Amino acid sequence: MIITIDGGVASGKSAVGRRVAEALGLPFIDSGLMYRAITRLAAERRIDPHDSEAMTALARGTQVRIDAERVWADGKELTSGIYDSDFADALPVVSATAGVREALVEQQRALGEHGVVMAGRDIGTVVFPGADHKFYLTASLEEKVRRRAVQYERRGEAADDEAMRREVELRDRVDSERPIAPLRPADDAIVINTDDLSLDDVVDTILTEIGDTVGGE
């Protein structure tokens, strides 16, 4: 079974996806960690994120592995610091590079070969267009900013509401407007507004939908 959970910044897709995967006994992959890993490697190797040829070569030549919230690139663990704000400006540039996306989509499909719950921004539209179940999570800007601030605080980083607002607005706008695999719900995805729902509520909604669909087949 392949289940895709897409959404913008701080929509809750990773936390929800992890819980759904646990409930169904499937592996969970946060595809965003793969782009963060390539962005971090580029910074370490002093590769200009705007150099599409060099970035594509890096992505094609790097094997990324995800296990829960941990990430490795060619056997080297990159989990510590993977969310560092130092990479915030480069990440959307790297994510919008066609060659990088092609290389990582190939790896993502391989990871889901035997069933997966995968979260991201183009999983239901590009990576697994034929997925068994597709979901797209939305939230208001205010709620996203609140959640983003909580994420930073949990990592021990200072959270500035105005800075969070600018970051969320910019990332969602860039992801939605990019010509390659833009952020949008798949035509057959179930859209869930998570503003007034707890994590448990969203997980239960998805599991109920999956159960109803399977039971009706």
Instruction: Judge residue 116's burial from the number of C-beta atoms within 10 Å of its C-beta, 0-12 exposed, 13-18 middle, 19 or more buried.
Output: buried
If one counts the domains in the chain, the total is 1
Domain containing 146 equals: 2-195
In a domain, residue 204? The reply is no
Q: For residue range 53-99, what is the model confidence (pLDDT) as tens digits? A: 999 999 999 999 998 789 999 999 999 888 887 888 899 999 999 99
Model confidence over 94-141: pLDDT tens digits?
999 999 999 999 999 999 989 999 999 999 999 999 999 999 999 999
Q: Is residue 174 part of a domain?
A: yes
Q: To which H or E segment does residue 146 belong?
A: helix 141-154
- The one-character DSSP state at 189 is P
Question: Does residue 47 fall inside a structural domain?
Answer: yes
Closest CA to 32 of 99, 112, 119: 119
What CATH number does the domain containing 16 carry? 3.40.50.300
| pTM of the model as a whole | 0.91
Instruction: Identify whether 169 is part of a domain.
Output: yes
User: Does 55 fall in a domain?
Assistant: yes
- Within a domain: 203: no
Pairwise CA distance, residues 33 & 66, whole Å: 8
Judged by average pLDDT, the poorest of 115-119, 182-186, 209-213 is: 209-213
Q: Does any domain span residue 217?
A: no
pLDDT at residue 158 greater than cutoff 60: yes
* Domain assignment present for 178: yes
- The pLDDT, as a whole number, for residue 103 is 98
